[in-house]
């Protein structure tokens, strides 16, 4: 069964075109032979704003949502937004992070009677062992297969795979072997040529990344990257890449199904970063030519089809602005933080598509997906609890008042506040400093920038 397939109509001549825009297309749940939905209850193995985002789509589809939380996060909005919530322990008292405990999360999903598990982003979202454990428990993992994740979700294995099976896909010069010996990596770095980038093989979100400009820095920076990677992803393995100074970070959103179909949902420019972590994203990418955009999309789809990729994913590229050449960077085998801007310009609810294809749905049956196009321009700004006077050091404490800039939770269809923060929430030292995402859409890039400034950045929150 599929949802309404009309594509949102958007005015190109008005900055206040909310009345002309339809809600995001939502793919309705698939039913089994018994006539009942295949996915009736979803456990969300994550927290914060992404959990709230998934809960919102589940509610629209009449799917029961189950949140998990730790003691340090009990005041988060995702706990009260979900239909059910389960406490999975304490980070402080246990000495480990329950959000990284595969066995605990699988047992919890089974105990609440969930048919599926959504991993969100971060934590175990790109952990093949977690995906495999979910399947072994007889549940649906809302994401790519464990084999696809092992091949493309890990930076090292993805480069090795593409080097063998798609040698014409341009790769950044670097080292993706298994050695983690500092002296061996120093020799490799000298062969590549400094500066180099040390990157967590299993990482993402700016974690486990260090720029090394000379040989004497490599050992210390490697140790820092490995330590951060182990804490964040449960793996300390790192790779080396040539650091391209004059570069832009561009990614292609894809969605694949179990029937061999892969669809590109176009590009995002994620070049505005701090400490290798994205802070502002936009789509369409303002500097790409149509020809380059088409080639990047085609390359992303081809990479996904090589491995039979299913569900949401993002193929990331580095674009050398001096030459215009793009290089494969990595595949994020999950839903991205910045997915809302893609939803805004395509008019498609990507979380609903994740649920649809996870249940076995065919993208070919959805005309809104087959005829997808970009309309208008969208920008996302991440709001972080950090002190700019202390080199953006993370802040923590209680939120005494939370009020979006316009004074409402949903000022219009053209503005989205994605957050799990509410008055009384606690911002904990145990979690990422990002507490909200502000997303705007307008008919042009200039109007989108103006709208972001008017509704968010120039007013108090």
Whole-number Å distance between alpha carbons of 270 and 268: 6
Listing DSSP states for 125-142 in one string gives TT-HHHHHHHHHTT-EES
- Pick the residue with more confidence: 187 or 105? 105
Torsion sign, CA atoms 92, 103, 54, 351: positive
Is residue 460's pLDDT more than 60? no
Whole-number Å distance between alpha carbons of 259 and 308: 9
Give, in order, the Cα–Cα distances in Å from 61 to each of 29, 67, 335, 337, 368. Answer: 7, 17, 19, 22, 17
Choose, from 21, 53, 334, 382, the residue flagged as catalytic: 334
pLDDT, average across residues 272-289: 93
Structure confidence at residue 238 (pLDDT): 84
Q: What is the dihedral angle through the alpha carbons of 217, 200, 248, 145, rounded to the nearest 10 degrees?
A: 170
Q: Are 225 and 198 in contact (CB under 8 A)?
A: yes
Structure confidence at residue 19 (pLDDT): 53
- Token pair, residue 7, equals 């594509």
Longest dimension (CA), the chain: 65
pLDDT, average across residues 354-367: 98
Task: State the Rg of the chain over Cα.
Answer: 21
Structure confidence at residue 203 (pLDDT): 63
- The 8-class DSSP code of residue 7 comes to P
Q: How many CB atoms are closer than 10 A to CB 31?
A: 13
**Closest CA relative to residue 208, chosen from 222, 218, 188:** 222
Structure confidence at residue 172 (pLDDT): 87
pLDDT digits (tens, 9 = 90+) for 234-244: 778 888 888 88
- Token pair, residue 103, equals 């066995």
Structure confidence at residue 219 (pLDDT): 87
pLDDT digits (tens, 9 = 90+) for 181-220: 788 888 888 888 899 988 887 766 677 888 899 888 888 8
Q: Phi-psi region for residue 424, left (φ > 0), alpha (ψ -120 to 50) or beta?
A: left
Is residue 87's pLDDT more than 50? yes
- Token pair, residue 185, equals 């990596």
pLDDT, average across residues 63-70: 99
- Token pair, residue 455, equals 């509704």
Is residue 16's pLDDT more than 80? no
Please report which helix (H) or strand (E) contains residue 264, including its range: strand 262-274
Q: Which residues contact 392 (CB under 8 A, 6 or more apart)?
A: 274, 275, 384, 386
Structure confidence at residue 205 (pLDDT): 64
Question: E-strand spans in 292-447?
Answer: 311-320, 326-332, 377-384, 386-387, 393-394, 397-398, 415-419, 426-427, 434-442
Q: What average pLDDT is seen over the chain?
A: 89
pLDDT, average across residues 59-75: 97
Structure confidence at residue 410 (pLDDT): 45
Whole-number Å distance between alpha carbons of 350 and 343: 7
What domains lie within the chain, and their CATH numbers?
A: 41-142 (3.40.50.20), 173-242 (3.30.1490.20), 247-457 (3.30.470.20)
Q: Which residues contact 436 (CB under 8 A, 6 or more apart)?
A: 49, 382, 383, 417, 418, 419, 421, 461
Whole-number Å distance between alpha carbons of 105 and 44: 9
**Closest CA relative to residue 317, chosen from 164, 158, 171:** 171
Q: What percent of the chain has pLDDT over 90?
A: 67
Whole-number Å distance between alpha carbons of 135 and 117: 10
Q: Are 203 and 127 in contact (CB under 8 A)?
A: no
pTM for this structure? 0.87
Please report which helix (H) or strand (E) contains residue 91, including its range: helix 91-94
Q: Determine whether 334 is an active site residue.
A: yes
- Token pair, residue 372, equals 């997808």
Whole-number Å distance between alpha carbons of 407 and 200: 40
Structure confidence at residue 444 (pLDDT): 98
Three-state SS at 358:
helix
Is residue 52's pLDDT more than 80? yes
- Token pair, residue 33, equals 């032979």
Is residue 126's pLDDT more than 90? yes
Residue 302: pLDDT band (50, 70, 90) is very high
């Amino acid at each position: 069964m599929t949802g309404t397939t009309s594509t949102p109509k958007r005015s190109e001549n008005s900055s206040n075109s909310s009345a002309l825009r339809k809600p995001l297309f939502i793919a309705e749940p698939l039913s089994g032979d018994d006539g009942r939905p295949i996915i009736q209850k979803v456990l969300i193995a994550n927290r914060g704003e992404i959990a709230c985002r998934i809960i919102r789509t589940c509610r629209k589809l009449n799917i029961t949502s189950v949140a998990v939380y730790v003691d340090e996060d009990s005041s988060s909005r995702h706990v009260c937004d979900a239909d059910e919530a389960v406490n999975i322990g304490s980070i402080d008292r246990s000495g480990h992070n329950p959000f990284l405990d595969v066995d605990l999360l699988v047992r919890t999903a089974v105990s609440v009677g969930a048919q599926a598990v959504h991993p969100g982003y971060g934590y175990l979202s790109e952990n093949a062992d977690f995906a495999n454990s979910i399947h072994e428990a007889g549940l649906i993992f809302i994401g790519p297969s464990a084999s696809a994740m092992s091949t493309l979700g890990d930076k090292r294995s993805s480069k090795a795979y593409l080097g063998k099976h798609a040698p014409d896909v341009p790769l950044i010069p670097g080292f993706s072997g298994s050695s983690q010996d500092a002296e061996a990596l120093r020799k490799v770095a000298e062969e590549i040529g400094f500066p180099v980038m040390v990157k967590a093989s299993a990482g993402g979100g700016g974690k486990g990344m260090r720029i090394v400009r000379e040989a004497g820095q490599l050992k210390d920076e490697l140790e820092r990257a490995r330590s951060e990677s182990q804490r964040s992803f449960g793996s300390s393995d790192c790779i080396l890449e040539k650091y391209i100074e004059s570069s832009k970070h561009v990614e292609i959103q894809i969605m694949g199904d179990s029937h061999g179909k892969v669809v590109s949902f176009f590009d995002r420019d994620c070049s505005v970063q701090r400490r290798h972590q994205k802070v502002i994203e936009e789509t369409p990418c303002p500097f790409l030519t149509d020809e380059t955009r088409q080639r990047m999309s085609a390359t992303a789809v081809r990479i996904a089809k090589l491995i039979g990729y299913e569900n949401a994913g993002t193929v990331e590229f580095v674009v050398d602005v001096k030459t215009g050449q793009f290089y494969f960077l990595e595949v994020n085998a999950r839903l991205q933080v910045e997915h809302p801007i893609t939803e805004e310009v395509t008019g498609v609810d990507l979380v609903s598509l994740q649920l649809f294809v996870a249940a076995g749905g065919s993208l070919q049956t959805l005309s809104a997906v087959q005829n997808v196009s970009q309309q208008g321009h969208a920008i996302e700004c991440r709001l972080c609890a950090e002190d700019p006077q202390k080199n953006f050091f993370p802040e923590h404490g209680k939120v005494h008042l939370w009020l979006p800039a316009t004074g409402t939770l949903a000022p219009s269809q053209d503005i989205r506040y994605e957050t799990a923060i509410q008055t009384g929430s606690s911002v904990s030292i145990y979690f990422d400093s990002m507490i909200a995402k502000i997303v705007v859409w307008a008919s042009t890039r200039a109007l989108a920038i103006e709208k972001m400034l008017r509704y968010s950045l120039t007013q108090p929150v």
